[in-house]
Each structure stands twice: as structure tokens, then as C-alpha cells.
Structure 1
């Protein structure tokens, strides 16, 4: 399904530089975590941290993974390149701006840092969808999930303009450009109960996801296998 709210043309081309990755992922780790009470990206998750599970799933589906964070020190252990917002403190849209600026691929998978049950099979499915739309985004019963979506680099001038105009709504951006929406039915074939798209905004929500992972270990195996060299001693 493609939503097209206005005339919009994107020319999707392969990078002329063969050394550039065809798939990049950018993990946003710059939120205030006010509801969580502490940095939710570094909340314990089995043998590592929540963000470790996100990094691992992204690495399974992408050649390049970067983290967008205004305070890089907490994530330096990961070995993943870290870039700040170009304009700090302006929320997810500014994170997307930095991701589009710094990631090397033509298309960037934007991911929240608080989805420990990310599924690389769903990431692959979204990458492989043939579409001219500049955004590929999952649809759920609660609506679209903009922090589990693919954005084309050609959107950068539009994002720049929207930020410069003072509109910081990522949802507003999606209302003005064509989006290829992955149907809930296709998602459910891979991701039971949409748990792989579920954010942990509170400690209670994280505990619920951990319980789900324990009782569904086969479908959640990636999030349980945190690489040892990502763990702080």
C-alpha cells in the first residue's frame, strides 16, 4: 500500500561508489527517557543492554550501523560509529536529519533504541520491497511506526526545510510524502503480536517484553544472543 499525499518524485539510484553500503541503519539514542526514569537504551537486557539487541538485529540486516546520540560516551563500548544531532535537542526529526546526513547508503533504516525484540527477518522484508516511495514503514493497529522505517536520502532537503521552519513533527513529514506501508498481515507472519515493533517506554513495559522473550525464545532468539564483546565489564 502506498500513501501519496502530494506530487512527489524520488529518483532511486545505486551509489556510484561500490565501497558504499547498500543498507544502512541508524539507531536513535538521544531521547530524554523521562517516562523510563533512566537511560532506557542502557537498561539491562539479558546479558547486555537494550540497545545491544537493537544493534545486533540491525547488523544482521545492514552493512552499516550507526548510532545517533548527543552524548557518545555511554555507547563507545559498542564500537559502532556515533554521530550527534546536527541541531541537538529537537527530537526524532533531528535524529533523522543527522542519520540522512551521516549514513553512507542511499536508504537508511531509522530505528529506535528501545525495541529489544527487533526482528532482522522483518528488516530484510522491508528492505526487499520494490517501491518508488521514499519511505517504507510498517502499519500496525495503532498506526504507523516511524522509528522502524526506511527513509531515502533524497528526503534530507525536505527534513532540513521542515526543521528550519520550526515544525519538528516526524508525523507531519510522513503526511506530506509518499509512504509504502507494510501491511499488518505481512508483519504478523514474522512478528507475533507486533512485539518486534514494541518500544519499552517504562520499566514495566520492558519487563513485559522480557517476559515475552522468555516464553517465546524461538521467535525472539536474536534478542537473547547479545555479543559478549558489547558488554561492559
Structure 2
């Protein structure tokens, strides 16, 4: 199924320092290509437009995608999300990390069915949210701005101020294995992937 989500731009937050990884993980090779290309490959099945949020745009030029700088540098992922929403032309954006090579197009499409009824559409597994695999509406801009001004960098801190659709584990399992899809790369050892290998 090649169902696309119209009018929504996908943003890849790639401006982190990768301090735990020890080098730039967005371009680190995995299964023959950089991690960010795995992310782009899945997102391109769902979205017509993909934008990278990162200050060092030159290193991503070969991808042929638009790259925008952080509007609030050195604020981590919350700054990247805020920057994306400020840039977005439409009412909703999908936000992804650059180091999640096992994304599921089916899950993202399912999450997209809740666009228009909630401000944040976000998976939650074992009571942990996945805010870098979520849809955000422009209604989140002001709460994000307030959180940044108050130096509250946990993205979930804005959730009480907006309407959140939590995607629980049983719904995620209809499309993919929760232990795989949100596996991100923080350390070199994580390159081996989650237990059991890559999901089908």
C-alpha cells in the first residue's frame, strides 16, 4: 500500500552533538548506507516533502533535501521540533529522529489518521513516549516556546497544555514490533540493532 499523507511535511531532527556515540551518527553507515538514509527511505513512502533540521547543512547537501537551521541552537530535540513547526507551511508536521533505521510506514500512516483531532499524536510503550516519532500541530508552537524559555527540555512537558493522542502498544503491534521500530542509535554497540534483527 502506497498511501501518502498529503499536506504534511516530515522533518528529521539531525542537529544533535552525538556525544554518547562519539561521532556524527546521522551519517554513520548501517547496512550499506548512512543511518539518515534509512530514515529518509521510509519517510519517502509516506510524505512528499522531507526537510532536515540541522545547522551543518553542507554535510547533507548530497541528499538533495531542504535543510533548515535550528531556530534556537543548543536546545536539543525540543529546539528541533520548535524549529520545524515554525518552518512548516501546513497545520501538522511529522517529526523523526535521524537515528531510527527501523521506522514503519504502516504505523506512521495509522498515526496520521488522527490528524485534525489532536495536537500531538505520539506512540507510548511501557509508559515511555516516543516524541521523536510523532505528529505535532502548530498549536504546539507556543507551549514549546514557553518550555524553551523556561529551559524545560523534556518534550513531554508540553503535553498537559495540548490535546494528545497516545498510540499504545497494542495499536503499534498491528503494524510492527515496538521493540524494533523505536530502536535508536546512541552508542556504537547499538549499530548491531535490536534483539532479533531487523523487523519484517
Q: Same fold (TM over 0.5)?
A: yes
After TM superposition, give the deviation of residue 180 of structure 1 in Å.
0.3
Residues 152-171 of structure 1: matches in 2 within 5 Å?
152-171=137-156
Residues 109-188 of structure 1: matches in 2 within 5 Å?
109-129=94-114, 132-188=117-173
Encode CA deviations 1:97-152: one digit per residue, 9 max, x unaligned: 11001122211111001100011111111011265220000011251110001000
Structure with greater helix percent? 1
Q: Is the radius of gyration larger for structure 1 or structure 2? A: 1
RCO comparison, higher one (Cα < 8 Å, 6+): 1
Q: What SS does the aligned partner of 2:123 have?
A: strand
After TM superposition, give the deviation of residue 200 of structure 1 in Å.
1.1
Change (3 A) 1:46 1:210: farther
Change (3 A) 1:48 1:152: same
Correspondence for 1:14:
none
Encode CA deviations 1:150-188: one digit per residue, 9 max, x unaligned: 000122122223222332321211243221011201111
Stretches of structure 1 that go unaligned for 5 or more consecutive residues are 1-20, 220-233
Distance 1:135 1:112 in 2: 16
Distance 1:209 1:77 in 2: 29
Correspondence for 1:80:
65
What's the Cα RMSD here?
A: 1.8
Count of residue correspondences = 195
**With structure 1 as the length reference, what TM-score do the two structures score?**
0.78
**With structure 2 as the length reference, what TM-score do the two structures score?**
0.90
Distance 1:130 1:26 in 2: 16
Change (3 A) 1:32 1:130: closer
Stretches of structure 2 that go unaligned for 5 or more consecutive residues are 1-5
Q: What SS does the aligned partner of 1:26 have?
A: strand
